[in-house]
Amino acid sequence: MPSSYGPVRAYARLQMGRWAKAGWSAGKIRRRLQERYGAAYRWTVLLSDYREFTGMVRYQKQVTEYSGIKALPRTWMEEIALRQARKYRLIGQATYYDTETGKEFKKYVSMYTDDRMSKDGWTSQFSDMKRIYKYQEGWNILDIDWQAIQHNKGYDY
């Protein structure tokens, strides 16, 4: 396969739907292309394509704007074969406060869970989980903007 950018992306987009439905992460797809074909795929473009094929973009606006106090409708969840034996995978952007520097910053986060709840409930669950495992001492989670919810195929809601 040629290593030029156009053909690599074209090939990847042909396979992306199958790979995403099988639960492959964007990182795994990128490694597969690099190992097998020695091909490069710009990371930001790959992520954009990946989000399109996993349905993250399709419902992102609805998920982002939905009230934080009610459970999200099942119709806004992308059905996918997840790698973890969990019902849901959530993807969002967290706002952190670094106590050492005194600055706020944003970082993409994800979480697996079996609990279908409100966005506020998931944010609380994520914060508790990170506290238990002492994730990045000194980083306090201020808020999480959940942007995509994936449901594991074959699991009930």
In this structure, are 68 and 18 located in the same domain?
A: no
Residue 37 to residue 23: CA distance in whole angstroms: 21
- Residues 44-63 have pLDDT tens digits of 888 888 877 776 667 788 88
Q: What pLDDT score does 99 carry?
A: 93
In this structure, are 31 and 75 located in the same domain?
A: no
3-state class (DSSP) for residue 122:
helix
Tokens of 54: 């996993």
In this structure, are 94 and 128 located in the same domain?
A: yes
In this structure, are 20 and 84 located in the same domain?
A: no
Greater model confidence, 75 or 20 = 75
Listing from the earlier edge strand, what are the strands of the sheet with 78-80? 78-80, 139-152, 88-98, 103-113
In this structure, are 96 and 69 located in the same domain?
A: yes
In this structure, are 18 and 34 located in the same domain?
A: yes
Residue 76: inside a domain, yes or no? yes
Residue 157: inside a domain, yes or no? no
Residues pairing with 112 in the sheet = 89
Q: What pLDDT score does 133 carry?
A: 62
Count of structural domains, the chain: 2
- Residues 85-125 have pLDDT tens digits of 999 999 899 999 999 999 999 988 889 999 999 999 999 99
Reported pTM: 0.66
Q: Average per-residue pLDDT in the chain?
A: 84
- The arithmetic mean of pLDDT across residues 67-74, rounded, is 84
The region that residue 13 occupies, defined by phi over 0 for left and psi between -120 and 50 for alpha, beta otherwise, is alpha
Return the DSSP state at 87.
S
User: What is the residue range of 80's domain?
Assistant: 58-152
Determine the Cα angle at 147 with ends 145 and 23, to 5°.
135
Tokens of 39: 């091909």
